[in-house]
Chain A
Amino acid sequence: DAGVIQSPRHEVTEMGQEVTLRCKPISGHNSLFWYRQTMMRGLELLIYFNNNVPIDDSGMPEDRFSAKMPNASFSTLKIQPSEPRDSAVYFCASSSQTREKLFFGSGTQLSVL
């Protein structure tokens, strides 16, 4: 089992550019979560999907953020336009059952200059 795969591992971009983060969940998992981690705010849940359907996106900071899950094996988190305050580590996680443990990817370290 390859685990949750995120790409890229690191992303450095300039303010105003579009950023796309990618996630491949563990095969067979039906729930997918996007978290953001910063020193100031800790781990924040941005959005989660169940069976490819967005269930709760109340954690998405603003309209500049969007997430999609076109199929069970792929999800994207897009920031357009990016701002320096978006700099953080973004984690994707998946789960096979409701309210059970999450499996995390290695994260994407995003730096917006």
Chain B
Amino acid sequence: SQQGEEDPQALSIQEGENATMNCSYKTSINNLQWYRQNSGRGLVHLILIRSNEREKHSGRLRVTLDTSKKSSSLLITASRAADTASYFCATYDTGTASKLTFGTGTRLQVTL
């Protein structure tokens, strides 16, 4: 079963705009990660945020984590056509040792 639910399921924006994706999860977590998947390819790790962190940045990516609401958001600033992909959140919960559970994903389309 899916641990995380991403919102929205699909997002279409123009190049240069910001894209925000949200993820909600159900259990207590050790950390939360975001991955990108280009069509027909494997997943690529983007960023990891630990349960005691509230915000993290990496280049044009900004991730927030609210453990009280069991939610996270991924912000991509100044989007580019190359950012077109599916984005997934994934969590390691505190109960299972090494089981990374993925959400349902957000399909992002960035148009010129």
Contacts and interface: CB of A to CB of B under 8 A. Distances in A.
**Interface SS of chain B:** strand
Nearest to B50: A99
Nearest to B31: A99
A42 interface: yes
Nearest to B93: A99
Given A42-B2, A42-B104, A31 B48 contact: no
A43 B104 CA distance: 8
A43 B102 contact: yes
Interface in B98-112: 98-105
A55 interface: yes
Interface residues of B, number: 22
B58 interface: no
A31 B42 CA distance: 17
Contact of A42 (B30, B41, B96, B105): B105
A101 B99 contact: no
6 contacts: A4-B42, A31-B98, A35-B102, A56-B98, A93-B42, A101-B45
Interface of A: 4, 31, 33, 35, 42-43, 45, 48, 50, 55-56, 91, 93, 95, 98-107
